């Protein structure tokens, strides 16, 4: 799933092309992708976008007149692409905008179940839609993070992924951040010392900045992740083979040498807990 570094790299890449010309045609949109009907999509036609903004993992495309905001959430397999005039695109995009002069913005989703979403909102509606999100992960300092981790006792991996607590981190970057911070994904947030909170804040900022830099250069997952989906490969810090554990509906990757004092974490799958 694209997370903060991936979305921010796309935001920077799309900002100029989508704001260069007014929208000539809004749509078509897959029925499962477009989540709103009022205002209608056609209300975008003739208007120009101001550029692209980002909040957590969502992209926002406000119109230059300040009246409408197109909000996009790619979920797991949605992808956005800017097409130059005449450039071939997908036959049936989940969503498309065509600009005057012929360039396009297309959203594709290569999955049976369409989960990516597009919302056309007024600025007030957009604000309400984003209200539940916690502060942005990139730029969060140790004091602000300390307040979040001490609010209630949560395991670190699900806490980092909880968009209401901190916005922008998903499974992959939670793995990378906790590895760099040398903290167990199962550690309880309220057990962290000040030093550990500081390490976590530093790791969060360093890892997300590293990810953004790599993604801006076009790096793929293999060149970007050092822990995520690398079961059995040697840890780049200590050489211990990386391990994985199932937690609720997710798989977590970690280094037993760097993060858990050599301990192997036990599965905590929801299905197993419910049995
Ligand atoms: Zn290690």
Domains and CATH numbers, the chain: 4-130 (3.20.190.10), 142-274 (1.10.8.50)
Instruction: Name residues of the chain where pLDDT drops below 70.
Output: 270-275
CA 235 / ligand 1 centre spacing (Å): 5
Query: C-alpha angle with apex 221: 254 to 164, nearest 5 degrees?
Result: 65
- For residue 8, report the distance from its CA to the centre of ligand 1, in Å: 28
What is the CA(197)–ligand 1 centre distance, in A?
Answer: 19
Residue 274 has a pLDDT of 57
User: CA-CA distance, 105 to 82, in Å (whole number)?
Assistant: 5
Q: Quote the ligand 1 centre to 159 CA distance (angstroms).
A: 22
Give distance in angstroms: CA of 148 to centre of ligand 1.
Answer: 27
Rounded distance from Cα 143 to ligand 1 centre (Å): 27
CA of 184 to the centre of ligand 1 (A): 12
Q: What is the pLDDT of residue 76?
A: 87
Chain centroid to Cα 210, Å, comes to: 15
pLDDT at 82: 95
**Residue 85: its pLDDT value, please?**
95
Q: What is the pLDDT of residue 202?
A: 98
Ligand 1 center–CA 223 separation, angstroms: 18
Structure confidence at residue 271 (pLDDT): 63
State the virtual CA torsion across 75, 176, 233, 243 in degrees, nearest 10. -90
CA triple 129-135-140, angle to 5 deg: 160
Alpha-carbon gap, residue 260 to 237, rounded angstroms: 14
CA of 273 to the centre of ligand 1 (A): 29
The answer for 218, left when phi > 0, alpha when psi is -120 to 50, beta otherwise, is left
């Amino acid at each position: 799933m694209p997370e903060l570094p991936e979305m921010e790299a796309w935001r920077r890449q799309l900002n100029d092309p989508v704001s260069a010309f007014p929208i000539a045609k809004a749509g078509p949109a897959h029925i499962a992708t477009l989540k709103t009907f009022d205002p209608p999509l056609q209300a975008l036609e003739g208007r120009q976008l101001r550029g692209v903004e980002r909040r957590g993992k969502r992209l926002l495309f406000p119109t230059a007149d300040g009246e409408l905001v197109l909000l996009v959430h790619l979920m797991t397999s949605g992808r956005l692409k800017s097409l130059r005039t005449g450039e071939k695109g997908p036959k049936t995009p989940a969503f498309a905008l065509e600009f005057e002069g012929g360039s396009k913005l297309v959203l594709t989703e290569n999955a049976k179940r369409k989960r990516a979403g597009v919302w056309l909102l007024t600025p007030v509606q957009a604000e309400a839609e984003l209200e539940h999100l916690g502060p942005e992960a990139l730029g969060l300092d140790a004091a602000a993070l300390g307040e979040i981790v001490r609010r209630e006792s949560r395991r670190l991996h699900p806490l980092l992924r909880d968009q209401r607590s901190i916005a922008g981190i998903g499974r992959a970057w939670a793995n990378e951040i906790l590895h760099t911070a040398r903290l167990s994904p199962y550690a309880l947030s309220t057990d962290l010392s000040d030093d550990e909170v500081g390490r976590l804040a530093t790791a969060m900022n360093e890892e997300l900045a590293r990810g953004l830099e790599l993604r801006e250069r076009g790096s793929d997952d293999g060149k970007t992740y050092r822990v995520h989906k690398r079961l059995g490969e040697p840890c780049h810090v200590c050489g211990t083979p990386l391990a994985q554990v199932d937690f609720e509906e997710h798989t977590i990757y970690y280094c037993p040498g760097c993060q858990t004092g050599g301990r192997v974490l036990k599965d905590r799958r929801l299905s197993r807990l419910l049995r």
